[in-house]
Amino acid sequence: MTLRTRIMLVYLLVVGGGVYYLVTRGLEELRPRYLESMEVPLVDAAHLLAHAVGVEAVESDAIDAGRVKAVLEGAFARRFAAKVYSITKTRVDLRVYVTDARGRVVYDSDGGRQVGEDFSQRRDVARTLRGEYGARASYDVPVDEKALVLYVAAPVLSADGATVGVLTVGKPAESVDDLVRAARTRLAVAGAVGGGLLVALGVAFSIWIATPLARLTQYARALRDGKPAKLPRLAGREVGELQVAFDEMRAALDGKAYVERYVQTLTHEIKSPLSAIRGAAEILAENPPEEAREKFVGNIRAETGRIQRIVDQLLQLASLEARKARAEFAEVELVSLVREVVDAAQAGAQTRGVSLEFEAGAGRLPVRGDRGLLAQAVSALIQNALEFTATGGRVRALVKGESDGNAAVCIEDSGTGIPDFALGRVFERFYSLPRPGSGVKSTGLGLSLVREIAHLHEGEAAVGNRAEGGAWAELRLPRRGS
C-alpha cells in the first residue's frame, strides 16, 4: 500500500467518519425538532380558540355546545390553496374538541365522533382542569406509527375567570413529514456534496504530501540508472532538508564510484597496449634486423596512439560528466547541423563504398545546446554506422520532430546489427564490438560520449535492431520552447 493511499484512508476514516456521524445524527434529529417547533403555535392556537369559545359560548358557567359548533364550524368548512414551501394546504387540518368541567366531550370537529365520551383522564384535559399545562402525543390508530397526533389544551374560562371546560387543539404529526422528508433530502444532498468536496480535498492533501517523496524517488532512481536528473524544487523545511541530504549523498557516492570505476577501466584498457609497447622495446634493445625494427617501431606508434585516444576521450567524457552549467547553450537548428555532419562524412562513406543519405521533414527544428557537442554526437553515431556496414550497404540520417515535443536524429544502417547480448551494454565505457571484416575494436568510449552529450542536453540516446536488418541509433533532444 502506497503512502498516498494510507494518507487517504486515514483522512477518510477520521474526517469522513465525523461527517457521516454529523449527517446521520442530523437526519435522526430532524423529526423530533420539527415536532417540538410545531407545539409552540399549537399553544397559541389553543388559547385563542379557548378565549373565543369562552366569549361566545359560555353562559351561566356552562358551555353551550351548539354555540361552540357555530363558532368553529365555519373555519373547518373553508377551502383555500396555500403553498407552504413544498406543501400545498387546502383546508384546516387541526382537530378541535371541547370538554365541560367534568371532562366530558361536548364538541368534536371530527364530525362529532367522540361527543359524550369521558376525557377526564386524558393528560391534556386532566392537567388543564388542575390549572397546569396540558399536552399529549397519542396515536389515533394504534397499529399505525404515522398516525401520531400532538394535542395541546387551554382552559375555557367563564366571565368571572372560572374554568368551565377545556379546549384541545390536535395537529397530526404526518403534516410535517413532507417538510421532514424535504429537509432530509436537502441535508442528504448537502452531505453528499460536502463528502465529495472532502474526498477531493483528501486526494489533494495526499498528493500534496506524497508528491515530494515521489519526485525524490524518481530523482534517486534516475541517478541509479545513470540518467540525467535535476534535483526537484520542493516546498517544506523537512522535505527541503531531505532534498539537500539526497544531493549530498549523490555527490559523495558519485565521486567515490567515479574514481573506482575509472581506475579499474583505465587500468584494464591501457594494460594491453603497454604490454605491447614493452615487448616491442625489449626486442628493439636486442638490435634486430632493419625490417623487424621498422615493424616494432610501427607497433609502438600504433599502441601509443591508441593510449592517447583513450586518454583524450576519457578526459572529454569526465569533463562532460562533471559539467552541469549550460551557460554556453544557444539555439541550434538541428536540420542544418545534421546536414553539415552528413556532408563532412560523405568522403569516408565513399571510401568504404557505403551510400550515406540524408532525410529531414519540412520546417526547422530548433533546439538549445552546444553546437560543437551535438555535432560530435551525430558524427559519432554516423561513424559507428559506417564502420558496421559492409561495402555496398546504406546508411541513412533522418531528422524529425516528434509528437511529444522532442526532436530526434535517427541513424539507420543495413549492417550486421547488434547481437542480443550486447544491446544492453553498448553505452558502457570501454565496451566495444569487433568491426566486420577487420575484427578491430574501438576504444569503446564513442557511444558513452554520445549518451553524456544527450544527458547534458536533457535528452536521451538509444540503439536497437531494425526488423528488416541492420541497426538504428537515435539521439532525442527537447525542442526549444517545449
DSSP 118: B
Burial class (CB in 10 A: 0-12, 13-18, 19+), 99: buried
- 428-438 pLDDT, tens digit each: 776 778 777 66
- 190-212 pLDDT, tens digit each: 777 877 787 788 777 777 777 77
pLDDT recorded at residue 116? 92
Query: What's the rounded Cα separation, in Å, for the pair 409 and 454?
Result: 11
DSSP 15: I
Task: Break the chain into its structural domains and give their ranges.
Answer: 3-181, 238-322, 330-478
Question: What Cα–Cα distance (Å) separates residue 361 from each residue in 273, 355, 367, 372?
Answer: 46, 20, 15, 23
- 240-255 pLDDT, tens digit each: 676 667 666 666 655 5
> Looking at the predicted structure, is the pLDDT value of residue 133 above 70?
yes
- 40-89 pLDDT, tens digit each: 899 999 999 999 999 888 887 889 998 998 888 888 888 888 887 667 88
DSSP 349: H
**140's grid cell:** 389515533
- Among 95-104, 151-160, 314-323, the range scoring the smallest mean pLDDT is 314-323
**134's grid cell:** 396540558
Choose which CATH entry (1.10.287.130, 3.40.50.1370, 3.40.50.2000, 3.40.50.300) describes domain 238-322: 1.10.287.130
Pairing of strands 394-401, 406-413: antiparallel
The mean pLDDT value of the chain amounts to 80
Q: Could you count the other beta carbons within 10 Å of the beta carbon of residue 447?
A: 23
Q: Percentage of the chain with pLDDT > 90?
A: 20
Helices (H), 58-118: 65-77
> Looking at the predicted structure, is the pLDDT value of residue 154 above 90?
yes
- What is the average pLDDT across 413-434? 82
Is-above-0.75 flag for pTM? no
- Among 252-266, 388-402, 454-468, the range scoring the smallest mean pLDDT is 252-266
- 343-379 pLDDT, tens digit each: 988 988 898 899 999 998 767 888 888 888 888 889 8
pLDDT recorded at residue 174? 74
CA 294 to chain CA centroid, nearest Å: 72
Query: Which of the two residues, 159 and 404, has the higher pLDDT score?
Result: 159
Is residue 331 within 8 A of residue 366, CB to CB? The reply is yes
- What is the average pLDDT across 287-305? 81
- Among 126-130, 213-217, 333-337, 457-461, the range scoring the smallest mean pLDDT is 213-217
- What is the average pLDDT across 291-320? 74
- Among 98-107, 250-259, 361-370, 435-444, the range scoring the smallest mean pLDDT is 250-259
- 392-409 pLDDT, tens digit each: 999 999 998 887 778 889
Choose which CATH entry (3.40.50.10470, 3.40.50.1370, 3.40.47.10, 3.30.450.20) describes domain 3-181: 3.30.450.20
**CATH number of the 330-478 domain:** 3.30.565.10
Q: Percentage of the chain with pLDDT > 70?
A: 76
> Looking at the predicted structure, is the pLDDT value of residue 235 above 70?
no
435 Cβ neighbours under 8 A, 6+ residues apart: 387, 388, 441, 442
Terminal CA-CA length for the chain:
35
